[in-house]
């Protein structure tokens, strides 16, 4: 058990808030570098056009005009460049009703082995554990790869009522990693890779980038507008 000044307990909430603050600083500094890179690229492009004889406005005006598009392209290229992952909270997202108790004996709750990032709201609530080495990915057991909230004996979710938004919206019935035929309750054998006949739907990188920017904004705002003692009390660090 860790103690701080005046022998006050350092709780998991204290530790996680400190880690989140450091990660928010990292994200802020990284985006500052991306903005600087966008300015350099926009300026270089404008100088190249002028050397080629292009008739353009003043350098500053031309660079300013190109900056938003250039920054967006650089942010898209950087989507995989940071280890801090966040999911954007979706308002009023309805829960998908799946008969998990009926299906778990067949599928083995394999969806609980999938890795995904939490939302700022879930971080604030402090119920769902996340991997401190891979913020803010759901924490998984090293022994079997299942979510730490998955009961090893029954494979039921121990926090089902407060499960993450991704879990609430997940529909395994359409997931070919899980079912060969859901209607006939035929699960796909474990360890067999899935191949798709149809090409995958194109990924909207611009939408993904904007969702990430919004998620990061919400996380930074949450840390700026709350205090540590407003967080729900969590277990002390052993």
Element (H, E) at 186: strand 186-187
Q: Indicate the pTM of the whole model.
A: 0.82
**Separation CA 34–CA 7 (nearest Å):** 42
| % of the chain beyond a pLDDT of 70 | 86
Question: Is 87 in contact with 118 (CB distance < 8 Å)?
Answer: yes
Task: Check residue 83 and give its pLDDT.
Answer: 86
**For residue 130, which phi and psi values (nearest 5 degrees)?**
-130, 160
**Separation CA 138–CA 77 (nearest Å):** 25
Which of the pair, 137 or 226, is modelled with greater confidence?
Answer: 137
Q: Is 175 left (phi over 0), alpha (psi -120 to 50) or beta?
A: beta
Task: Check residue 237 and give its pLDDT.
Answer: 39
């Amino acid at each position: 058990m860790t103690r701080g000044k005046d022998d006050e307990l350092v709780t998991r909430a204290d530790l996680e808030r400190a880690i989140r603050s450091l990660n928010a600083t990292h994200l802020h500094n990284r985006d500052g570098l991306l903005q600087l890179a966008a300015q350099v690229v926009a300026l270089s492009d404008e100088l190249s056009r002028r050397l080629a004889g292009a008739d353009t406005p003043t350098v500053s005006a031309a660079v300013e005009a190109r900056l938003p598009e250039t920054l967006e392209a650089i942010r898209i290229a950087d989507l995989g460049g940071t280890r801090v992952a966040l999911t954007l909270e979706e308002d009023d997202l309805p829960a998908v009703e799946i008969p998990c108790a009926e299906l778990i004996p067949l599928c083995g709750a394999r969806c609980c082995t999938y890795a995904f990032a939490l939302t700022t709201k879930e971080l604030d609530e402090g119920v769902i554990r996340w991997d401190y080495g891979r913020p803010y990915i759901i924490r998984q057991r090293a022994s079997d790869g299942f979510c730490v909230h998955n009961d090893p004996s029954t494979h039921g979710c121990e926090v089902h009522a407060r499960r993450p938004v991704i879990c609430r919206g997940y529909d395994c019935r359409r997931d070919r990693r899980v079912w060969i035929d859901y209607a006939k309750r035929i699960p796909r054998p474990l360890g067999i890779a899935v191949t798709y006949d149809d090409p995958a739907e194109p990924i909207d990188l611009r939408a993904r980038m904007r969702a990430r920017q919004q998620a990061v904004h919400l996380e930074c705002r949450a840390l700026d507008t709350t205090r540590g003692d407003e967080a729900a009390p969590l277990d002390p660090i052993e």
